[in-house]
């Protein structure tokens, strides 16, 4: 199966904030991430997203509140219980990095996805183990590596199956690897800019934050392409 190679020309299509713009006009992002054990994944994602949008709202475990606030005074930190309310106020949502794989988080992940079909949602890390794929929609982007892809879609992680899964579940799929494969269900794209440094801890969280931040004011597909080049 042939795939279309992405080029750096995609950067020319990105949203640019106007000189006369003000707060709330250049993107609002909600990040639902972190747990009592894991705070680093949340920090990586939030810091990256904050470079691209006006405001970052964070929902996390209470143990992370002070840790996260020390990294940036602009982070607006809330408990997980506020996630559904905050989801209505933002342009894009990232859910997954560092969250616990328990019943409560599984319920939250699936409710956020199914009740916010007009919001651009990025699912990564633990959220890929918790979400029911039938709840995915056209405003969802999943960014699994090979093992996560197979666990989520019950398919081998091949470029053919990236297109197949994206079409079946009406979402954008970004299969991360030496070559990134991206599809919205109609076309298959490939990006060859991967490198061995991407195996380091935190890189996936960083990319997820960038993807969610970009998606606040750009299409999910364009955002996925750009993140592929940044990786």
pLDDT 10s digits, 11-33: 788 778 777 776 777 899 999 99
According to DSSP H, which parts of the chain are helical? Answer: 40-50, 65-71, 83-87, 103-115, 127-130, 146-153, 159-169, 203-215, 220-230
Residue 147 pLDDT grade (very low, low, confident, very high; cuts 50, 70, 90): very high
Specify the pLDDT at position 4.
82
What are the two backbone dihedrals, phi and then psi, of residue 132, each rounded to the nearest 5 degrees?
Answer: -85, 120
Average pLDDT over residues 151-180: 96
Residue 90, CA distances (Å) to 77, 102, 142 in order? 14, 25, 19
Rounded to whole angstroms, the Cα distance separating 169 from 161 reads: 12
Which strand (E) or helix (H) includes residue 181? strand 180-183
**Distance between start and end Cα atoms, the chain:** 24
Q: Strand, helix or coil at 63?
A: helix
Greater confidence, 16 or 85? 85
Distance of CA 134 to the CA centre of its chain: 18
In the chain, % of residues over pLDDT 90? 75
Joined tokens for residue 112: 């956020």
Average pLDDT over residues 53-58: 96
Specify the pLDDT at position 15.
74
Specify the pLDDT at position 115.
97
| Among candidate residues 207, 202, 192, 98, the one with its CA nearest the CA of residue 143 | 207
């Amino acid at each position: 199966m042939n795939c279309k190679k992405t080029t750096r020309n995609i950067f020319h299509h990105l949203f640019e904030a106007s000189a006369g713009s003000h707060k709330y006009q250049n993107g609002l992002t909600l990040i639902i991430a972190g747990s009592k054990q894991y705070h680093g994944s949340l920090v990586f994602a939030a810091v990256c997203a904050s470079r691209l949008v006006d405001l970052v709202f964070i929902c996390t475990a209470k143990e992370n509140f002070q840790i996260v606030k020390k990294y940036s005074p602009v982070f607006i930190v809330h408990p997980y219980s506020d996630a559904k309310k905050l989801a209505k106020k933002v342009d894009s949502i990232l859910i997954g990095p560092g969250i616990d794989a328990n019943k409560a988080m599984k319920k939250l992940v699936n409710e956020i996805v199914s009740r916010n079909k007009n919001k651009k949602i990025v699912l990564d890390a633990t959220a890929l183990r918790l979400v029911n794929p039938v709840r995915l929609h056209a405003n969802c982007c999943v960014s699994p590596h090979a093992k996560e892809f197979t666990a989520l879609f019950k398919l081998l992680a091949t470029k053919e199956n990236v297109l197949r899964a994206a079409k079946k579940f009406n979402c954008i799929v970004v299969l991360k690897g030496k070559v990134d494969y991206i599809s919205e269900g109609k076309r298959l794209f490939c990006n060859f800019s991967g490198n061995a440094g991407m195996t380091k801890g935190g890189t996936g969280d960083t990319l997820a934050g960038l993807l969610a931040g970009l998606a606040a004011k750009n299409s999910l597909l364009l955002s996925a392409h750009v993140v592929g080049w940044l990786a």
